[in-house]
Amino acid sequence: MTDPQHRATGPGVPEEVGPPRRTMLLIAMPGTVSANLIRAVEIEFPSVTVEQRLEASAARMSYPDPVALILFEPYMFASIEVASADILRLHPLASAAVIEHGDREPSCRLSDLLGSRLVRGVLPMDLKLDVWLSVLRLMLHGGEYFPARLFFRQIAGEGAVPSAGVAGGSFMGAVDNDLATLTARELQILEMVARGLQNKIIAAEFSLSEHTVKVHLHNIIGKLGVQNRSEAAARFREGISARADGMFRV
């Protein structure tokens, strides 16, 4: 009997191919991302090589494996943005994200982040490890992540969205009768669902349990009269797009 754990090898038997090697380029001062976090990345994503550099110019260098993600500190934003065309030519599969240091005021304006050709997110450093790795996984696969608190903290100051009709102080105003029935918290959660974020990440954003997030989603689906979270997200995008005028991506 053949051992089910044994992999056949030899002529004519194709070798098992793992995920392609990729590079995560970390441009930051030493200690910004701890050695323990770097080790966690290497364990969680064995096909990813972490390259650590100090200068923004490192984004314009070549690496043995294709660059999938560039993480950099906020003060480097202007330099990265100026070089974005060159970076994208050299690393066509790469996206970039700004490292956010806890609850400090961000150094980058939200409108600048959303208008960037290269930047596709913000990576908070104050998340629980499993959530932090989930956000990183999303970014490594080309997804976008902007913490909800970044929107709520900055958007009013930038004057991007009219304040009339804004529910519970959030930047999202109800734009039809169904959305008007949602509470401020339900609107916040629905906005994150519309950006494709997992319940785990949503729960971490608002210091809620995943069960509580599921309860909110159940109530949202009922109020909107839709069948599932995908339909709820679609309703949100349709209703908000005119008001938000493209100020956030999903």
- CATH number of the CATH domain containing 192: 1.10.10.10
| 128 and 198 co-located in one domain | no
Q: 121, 146, 171: which is the final residue of a domain?
A: 146
Which residue among 146, 172, 188 closes a domain?
Answer: 146
Decide if pLDDT at 159 tops 70. Answer: no
pLDDT of 46 higher than 80: yes
Name the domain count of the chain. 2
pTM: 0.62
Residue 105: predicted pLDDT = 55
Same domain, 190 and 139: no
Would you place residue 9 in the very low, low, confident or very high pLDDT band (cuts 50, 70, 90)? low
Comparison of pLDDT for 208 and 171, the residue scoring more:
208
- Give bridge partners of residue 14 from the DSSP assignment: none
Dump pLDDT digits (tens) for 52-96.
Answer: 999 999 999 999 999 999 999 988 998 999 999 999 999 998 999
Q: Which two tokens stand for residue 8?
A: 């056949």
> Residues 195, 128: one domain?
no
Average pLDDT over the chain reads 78
Range of the domain at 184: 163-244
Q: Is residue 122 part of a domain?
A: yes
Question: Do 47 and 57 meet the contact criterion of CB atoms below 8 Å apart?
Answer: no
Q: Are residues 103 and 199 in the same domain?
A: no
Q: What CATH number is associated with residue 135?
A: 3.40.50.2300
Domain edge (last residue) among 118, 146, 174 = 146
Nearest to 160 by CA among 111, 109, 108, 119: 111
Q: Are residues 113 and 193 in the same domain?
A: no
CA distances from 96 to 68, 109, 124 (A): 8, 16, 14
Q: Mean pLDDT, to the nearest integer, of 128-139? A: 89
Higher pLDDT, 152 or 68: 68
**d(Cα 74, Cα 106) in Å, to the nearest integer?**
7
pLDDT over 50 (residue 228): yes
Judgement on whether residues 26 and 112 belong to the same structural domain of the protein:
yes
